[in-house]
């Protein structure tokens, strides 16, 4: 099949160069969103067929395939029929290769021939209206996507962030997330209905102001950081965390926390599971130092959920997904498979936890556990670890022993699947 993908803006009277107008005049089957259809309808041939692009997209591509098979038999001379039966002209917003529909075609129909006639994308239009250079802009699409890349851009303090929105990730909800996690030192530029001369509108405001505003769709955002970039400490002081019942021993101490992250080898990892997160100190430290990670945090005590929420907001660490309940009873099938796991608590069931992890952890995944040596502890967790690794066939790394001040010695244990 052949797709000709033509980029358009929201201008109700679009301009196309002569080459594109000739393609439209000669076309038979067209496709696009309903908004695109309204804009280009006066330009289409009288006998044009139109395929709406709606979700689910699989149904749209089924129609494309059905069209090719149907029209290969009926309605035209063989040579003319062959060309029209396999050619669909698609209208898409802006540059179809910029988070656009041409990419979807490439993914769904990799053998299709694609020709693209782009126009400016919405973020380019917004930058043009602001007379803002955009070669240094970090691009994040939240259109039908999760928060992950936006959270990462915030944590990494990207000085200029261009954001593609949708009806869930609106300027107001984006501003709310920024405010919740303390990222209020940005200016928001919001462009609404860009390309439509009579309806487009620009706003420049703070995130706190944007929370209470409604913005017309479609819209996009450029964030500009203002002021000095606050430091991101390599190791958060223990006293800065909200603790469980104020118990200072219920937190992985900062030097041990950093050694734990080192043992997890997080630079090349993708998904970290933190089992027994308590205050969330390990998850938060990992999130801030390795913002590319997806983090799933587990805890049996319900009261710890509010504690980790307080701490993630205090330290600007969005995107940590929490799961409350007994890990051994938790359904893991819908979660991303980890390639790094920290076991911060085991409730005497260390071997069972490791065995369950082996059903989901990626090949060469790392598991780290900190064993506390204490005369008050009757069960030797180091011995439990050794027994579990031997029984389950795990490769152990040399242990690291550390003692801080008058606290009990800690042995950092790690193994690989």
283: exposed, middle or buried (C-beta count within 10 Å: 0-12, 13-18, 19+)? buried
Distance CA 193, CA 35 (A): 12
Is residue 162 scored above 50 in pLDDT? yes
Q: Does 206 lie in the same domain as 314? A: no
pLDDT band at residue 71 using 50, 70 and 90 as cut-offs: low
Phi-psi region of 393 (alpha: psi -120 to 50; beta: other; left: phi over 0): left
Does some domain include residue 141?
A: yes
Of 52-61, 67-76, 209-218, the range with the lowest mean pLDDT is 67-76
pLDDT digits (tens, 9 = 90+) for 121-138: 999 999 999 999 999 999
Same domain for 342 and 363, yes or no, is yes
Distance CA 19, CA 21 (A): 6
Residue 16 in any domain: the answer is: yes
Q: Which of 55, 87, 119 is the last residue of a domain?
A: 119
> Do residues 345 and 276 lie in contact, with contact meaning Cβ atoms separated by under 8 Å?
yes
Residue 91 β-bridge partners: 6
pLDDT at 185 over 60: yes
Give all strands of the β-sheet with 186-192 in edge-to-edge order: 138-141, 160-164, 219-225, 186-192, 201-205
Interacting residues of 171 by C-beta distance below 8 A, sequence separation 6+: 165, 188, 190, 210, 213, 215, 219, 221
Q: Percentage of residues in the chain with pLDDT exceeding 70?
A: 95
Same domain, 172 and 317: no
Q: What is the CATH number of the domain that holds 154?
A: 3.30.950.10
Does a structural domain hold residue 377? Answer: yes
Provide the pLDDT for residue 67: 83
Q: Which residues of 233-265 are buried (b: 16+ CB within 10 A; e: fewer)?
A: eeebebeebbbbeeeeebbbbbebbbbbbebbb
Say whether both 114 and 136 belong to one domain: no
pLDDT recorded at residue 83? 53
Q: Which of these, 108, 89, 97, 75, lies nearest to 29 by C-alpha position? A: 89
Give backbone dihedrals phi and psi of 354, rounded to 5 degrees, phi first: -65, -40
Residue 22 has pLDDT above 80, yes or no: yes
The answer to whether position 307 is within a domain reads yes
Of 41, 33, 32, nearest in space to 12 by CA: 41
Whether residue 200 is found in the same domain as residue 256: no
Give the residue carrying structure tokens 């509010």: 306
Containing structural domain, residue 412: 238-416
Specify the pLDDT at position 200: 96
CB 160 within 8 A of CB 226: no
> Are 42 and 175 in a shared domain?
no
Element (H, E) at 2: strand 2-8
- Lowest model confidence (mean pLDDT) among 48-62, 102-116, 248-262: 248-262
Provide the pLDDT confidence category of residue 367 given band limits of 50, 70 and 90: very high
**Residue 77's pLDDT band (boundaries 50, 70, 90)?**
very low
The answer as to whether 321 is a domain residue is yes
Helix (H) or strand (E) holding 356: helix 350-357
The DSSP line for 311-339 is HHHHTT---EEEEES-GGGS--TTSPPPS
Mean pLDDT for 65-86 is 61
Average pLDDT over residues 34-50: 96
Q: Is residue 366 part of a domain?
A: yes
CA 22 to CA 183: how far, in whole Å?
Answer: 49
In a domain, 233, yes or no: no
Domain identity same for 284 and 374: yes
Question: What value does the mean pLDDT of the chain take?
Answer: 93
Number of domains in the chain: 3
pLDDT at 86: 79
Q: Which residue in this structure is represented by tokens 């498979």? A: 337
- If asked whether residues 94 and 184 sit together in one domain, one would say no
Q: Which two tokens stand for residue 253?
A: 């101490």
Domain with residue 262: its CATH number is 3.40.50.150
35 and 114 co-located in one domain: yes
> Among the three residues 178, 194, 225, which one is the final residue of a domain in this structure?
225
Q: Is the pLDDT of residue 204 over 80?
A: yes
Beta bridge partners of residue 272, listed in sequence order: 295, 340
137, two tokens: 């802009």
* Span 84-121, pLDDT tens digits: 557 999 999 999 999 999 999 999 999 999 999 999 99
Peptide bond into 73 cis (omega under 30): no
Give CA–CA dist 242/341, Å, rounded: 23
In whole angstroms, give the CA distance from residue 161 to residue 137. Answer: 6
Query: For residue 325, which of 367, 359, 275 has the smallest C-alpha distance?
Result: 275
- Mean pLDDT throughout 189-217? 97
**Four-residue CA torsion sign, 304, 309, 314, 318:** positive
> Do 202 and 261 lie in a common domain?
no
In this predicted structure, the answer to whether residue 377 has a pLDDT above a threshold of 60 is no
CATH number at residue 36: 3.40.1010.10
Q: Which residues contact 18 (CB under 8 A, 6 or more apart)?
A: none
Higher-confidence residue of 66 and 136: namely: 136
> What's the confidence (pLDDT) of residue 72?
59
Q: Evaluate whether residue 231 is within a structural domain.
A: no
- pLDDT for 84: 56
The answer to whether residues 85 and 154 belong to one domain is: no
Residue 230 has pLDDT above 90, yes or no: no
Retrieve residue 312's tokens: 């993630």
Domain boundary among the residues 95, 119, 143 is at 119
Q: What is the pTM of this model?
A: 0.90
Q: Are 150 and 173 in contact (CB under 8 A)?
A: no
Residue 69 binned pLDDT confidence (cut-offs 50, 70, 90): confident
- Please give the Cα distance from 96 to 100 (Å, whole number): 4
Q: Does 280 share its domain with 403?
A: yes
- Please report which confidence band the pLDDT of residue 378 belongs to, taking 50, 70 and 90 as the band edges: very low
């Amino acid at each position: 099949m052949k797709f000709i993908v033509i980029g358009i803006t929201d201008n109700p009277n679009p301009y196309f160069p002569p080459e594109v107008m000739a393609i439209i005049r000669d076309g038979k089957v067209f496709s696009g969103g309903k908004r695109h259809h309204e804009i280009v309808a006066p330009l289409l041939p009288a006998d044009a067929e139109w395929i709406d692009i709606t979700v689910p997209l699989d149904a749209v591509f089924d129609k494309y395939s059905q069209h090719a098979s149907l029209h290969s038999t009926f309605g035209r001379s063989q040579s003319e029929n062959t060309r029209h039966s396999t050619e669909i002209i698609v209208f898409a917003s802006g540059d179809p290769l910029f988070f656009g529909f041409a990419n979807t075609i490439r993914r769904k129909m990799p053998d299709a021939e694609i020709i693209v006639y782009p126009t400016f994308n919405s973020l380019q239009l917004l930058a043009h209206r602001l007379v803002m250079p955009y070669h240094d802009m970090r691009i994040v699409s939240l259109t039908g996507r999760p928060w992950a890349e936006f959270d990462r851009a915030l944590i990494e303090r990207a000085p200029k962030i261009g954001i593609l929105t949708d009806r869930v990730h609106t300027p107001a909800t984006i501003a709310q997330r920024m405010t919740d996690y303390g990222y209020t030192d940005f200016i928001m530029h919001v462009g609404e209905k860009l390309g439509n001369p009579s309806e487009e509108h620009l706003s420049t405001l703070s995130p706190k102001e944007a929370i209470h505003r409604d913005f017309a769709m479609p819209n996009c955002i450029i964030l500009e950081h203002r002021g000095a970039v606050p430091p991101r400490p390599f190791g958060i002081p223990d006293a800065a965390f909200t603790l469980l019942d104020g118990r200072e021993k219920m937190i992985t101490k900062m030097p041990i926390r950093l050694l734990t992250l080192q043992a997890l080898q997080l630079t090349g990892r993708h998904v970290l599971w933190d089992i027994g997160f308590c205050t969330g100190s390990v998850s938060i430290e990992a999130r801030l130092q390795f913002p590319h990670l997806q983090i799933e945090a587990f805890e049996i005590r319900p009261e710890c959920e509010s504690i980790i929420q307080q701490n993630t907001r205090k330290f600007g660490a969005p995107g940590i997904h929490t799961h409350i309940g007994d890990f051994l009873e938790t359904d893991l099938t819908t979660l991303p498979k980890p390639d790094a796991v920290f076991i911060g608590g085991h409730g005497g069931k260390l071997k069972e936890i490791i065995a369950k992890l082996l059903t989901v952890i990626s090949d060469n995944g790392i598991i780290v556990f900190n064993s506390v040596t204490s005369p008050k502890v009757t069960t030797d967790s180091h011995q439990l670890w050794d027994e579990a690794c031997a029984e389950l066939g795990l490769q152990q790394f040399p242990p690291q022993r550390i003692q801080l001040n008058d606290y009990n010695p800690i042995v950092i244990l790690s193994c690989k699947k």
